[in-house]
Amino acid sequence: MTRYKLIIITKEVALHYFQAEDKLYRLFLDYHKAYEWARPLLEKQIHYITEPLLYPYFIDSLEKDLSKIGFDKLPSEHAAYVSCRSDSSIYLEDRHIIFDHAGSAKEEWQVFDCLKKISPYFFAVNINKEAYGWLKPLKVYSVLS
């Protein structure tokens, strides 16, 4: 099973760290491996550079798109979805999404496509595979050209 942590980075930070994504990844890696005493400072940094997710438009739009690709909402107080075709699941928190993927590559890309529709600044982190990147490549234009 592959676990992705998906975060919406603020536009200013996303553009500033364009082609320096390893620094963003390092922040999330440091948080993952941090001692308890260091976590509050790292949480503040992560909170500062990320956008909240749990607002009505986001949840409604995501729920419709996920149902189209075979995900059902679980009856719980938190937003959680499971795939009808695999053991994949999606959990929404205040500032990140956990996507536990155990299905096909097609299903993985369908989930990513649903998220790309909501924001161009989604950043995916997979700590176990040391992988990270934007779901949708950023377009940065030079003021010199």
pLDDT recorded at residue 145: 47
b (16+ CB within 10 A) / e for 117-141 = ebbebbbbbbbeeeebebbeeeeee
pLDDT recorded at residue 65: 93
Residue 86 in contact with residue 2, Cβ under 8 Å?
no
Distance separating alpha carbons of residues 85 and 103, to the nearest angstrom: 8
Domain extents for the chain?
2-134
* Tens of pLDDT, residues 85-122: 999 999 999 899 999 999 899 999 999 999 999 899 99
Residue 1 has pLDDT above 80, yes or no: yes
Enter the DSSP assignment of 133. Answer: E
pLDDT recorded at residue 137: 78
pTM given for the model: 0.88
Q: Is residue 53 classed exposed, middle or buried when 0-12, 13-18 and 19+ CB atoms within 10 A define those classes?
A: buried
Look up the CATH number of domain 2-134. Answer: 3.30.310.250
* Tens of pLDDT, residues 19-67: 899 999 999 999 999 999 999 999 999 999 999 987 777 888 889 999 9
